Amino acid sequence: MFRSISSIKGVEHPAAGYRKIFETVEELNEPLPTEVTGVLPSWLSGSLLRMGPGLFEVGAEPFHHLFDGQALIHKFDLREGHVTYHRRYIRSDAYVRAMAEKRVVITEFGTAAYPDPCKNIFSRFFTYFQGIEVTDNCLVNIYPIGEDFYAVTETNFITKVDPDSLETLKKVDLCDYLSVNGVTAHPHTDADGSVYNIGNCFGKNMSLAYNIIKIPPPQKDGSDPLKRSEVVVQLPSSERFKPSYVHSFGMTENHFVFVEQPVKINLLKFLSSWSLRGTNYMDCFESNEYIGTWFHVATRDPAAYLSSHKFRTSAFNVFHHINAYEDQGFIVVDLCTWKGSDFVYNYLYLANMRAEWDKVKESAMRAPQPEVRRYVLPLDIYRVEQGKNLVSLSYTTATAVLRSDGTVWLEPEVLFSGPRQAFEFPQINYSRCSGKNYRYVYGLGLNHFIPDRIVKLNVRTKDTRLWQEEDSYPSEPLFIPTPEAIDEDDGVLLSIVVKPGAERPSFLLVLDARQMTELARASVNTIIPVTLHGTYKPRTP
């Protein structure tokens, strides 16, 4: 049903059914049939591929953070009105060795690995000082590079998988091809199949910087596109040894946009902590509210950093860019933000997520307040008057003011805001609207961090429509356009929903993206744990 932005209020979850999406499951030996109700669009034929954690403890050792569980790949396969569900664990080194030793072997985001207690004291001593291995637990996303599909996290390791059988094929170290310490799980893909991404690296004089990289489209000779990867442009870090945490970035037709947030990785602590018992990635983050947030801009062709454009605003967390586009000499950047510098991931420990409902709300009340924001960056900052708003776009209240120190101070327009009601995991009609002016974005509604609705936001009017069902916990909605569609929102949304009390407790939900009404669901007799991100692989004729 249609609702205005102000009418979206959180529902209560006193039964705490959401706990089920944070429980360990077994992989499947073969796909399971589903029970389809409603009518699937005849043109919808392909596979929904999703990544997320599936193993939340190894033996007696638990994982502590939402981003620690071992990677599980899921597939809903749609073919001629029939749907099956399959899942398998990624055979990463982290998973294989954990299964063999029945303990956490490689340190994850919020869980430290300890030396084997069966080793003698001398072996354990040397293990401490050999350093902790970087995890290859690729639980965050899956996307194509060339003709292949890769499960990814945010380190330098990605994992090639078979999108049909879900078999793990090959571990790939991006450092073999590029100068990066790791890349985000949210690349951009051009119409020709070129893949762009960003990651931190060591720049001049051993200071930190950020490299935007390009992986070319599929090669005519059938060679691996990764072998032709290149660094496109390098952006500076505002602090020499403290790069910002980066989860995504913006790309328009002619520019790259990188938001340098005040959540920092303390590099010295990171390097020294390799030899300290009990240290994990989360221990190396720190926040600095006073430095605020910086927007960096680079041109795409020719690739060059716009060092004279110093855009700054107050502190916020950002994990997901919605879209960015150019209009009349401005770059419009839409983001899912969290106010302040307090790191949102501090509130995503499993102890918080699995707590009683009142405790979940209490924890979320201490966390930053979420908002969908629009920032506008003027490209022409020369010969302008200080203290004057430079934004002349008639459809936004966002401002940009040149200051005496040469920086341009940005204030946003708020597109969506509700008390502890986040609009996150945004998706647009990517093939049509990425890098272009657009109207609609779809997102997962987080109620005190618990996913309980799917929301459609009109970024021009700020109107919203939503899908919500009692005691049901959806995942990120993926937009699939109708073939030869005319309208931007002509298509369907696909989301995996868990309804713990149902006879078949999980289902693939298919929504009409225009009206946010249900077209069909494919229910399966198994619980599906939380998934983070994914992709849709259409079936080729």
- In a 13 Å sphere around the CA of 448, the CA atoms on its Cβ side amount to 23
Q: Quick check: 522 and 506 in contact, CB under 8 A? A: no
Which residues, including other chains, have CB under 8 Å from residue 229's CB and lie 6 or more apart?
174, 177, 178, 213, 214, 215, 216
Q: Which two tokens stand for residue 150?
A: 């890769």
Q: Is 186 annotated for ligand binding?
A: yes
Beta-sheet pairing, 408-411 with 311-313: parallel
| Token representation of residue 518 | 């249900």
Distance CA 355, CA 347 (A): 12
> What is the DSSP secondary-structure string of 105-154?
-S--SS------TTS-HHHHHHHHHH-PPPP----SEEEEETTEEEEE-S
Joined together, the tokens standing for residue 51 give 């990544």
Contacts of 29 (CB under 8 A, 6+ apart): none
Question: Is residue 448 a known part of a binding site?
Answer: no
Query: Does the annotation flag 321 for ligand binding?
Result: no
CA atoms within 13 A on the CB side of 89: 20
DSSP of 28-62:
-SSPEE-EEEE---TT--EEEEEEEEEE-EETTEE
247 is in an annotated binding site: yes
Specify whether the CB–CB gap between 464 and 4 falls below 8 A.
yes
Coil, strand or helix at 187: coil
Please give the Cα distance from 456 to 110 (Å, whole number): 32
Pairwise CA distance, residues 348 & 367, whole Å: 10
Secondary structure (3-state) at 217: coil
- Exposed / middle / buried, residue 532 (Cβ in 10 Å: 0-12, 13-18, 19+): buried
- Alpha-helical regions (H) of 277-433: 350-353, 357-365, 430-433
Cβ neighbour number for residue 227 with a 10 Å cutoff: 11
Regarding beta strands 61-62 and 70-79, do their DSSP bridges make them parallel or antiparallel, or are they unpaired?
unpaired
How crowded is the C-beta side of 372, counted as CA atoms within 13 Å?
A: 31
User: Which residues are known binding-site members?
Assistant: 186, 247, 320, 533
Binding residues for Fe cation: 186, 247, 320, 533
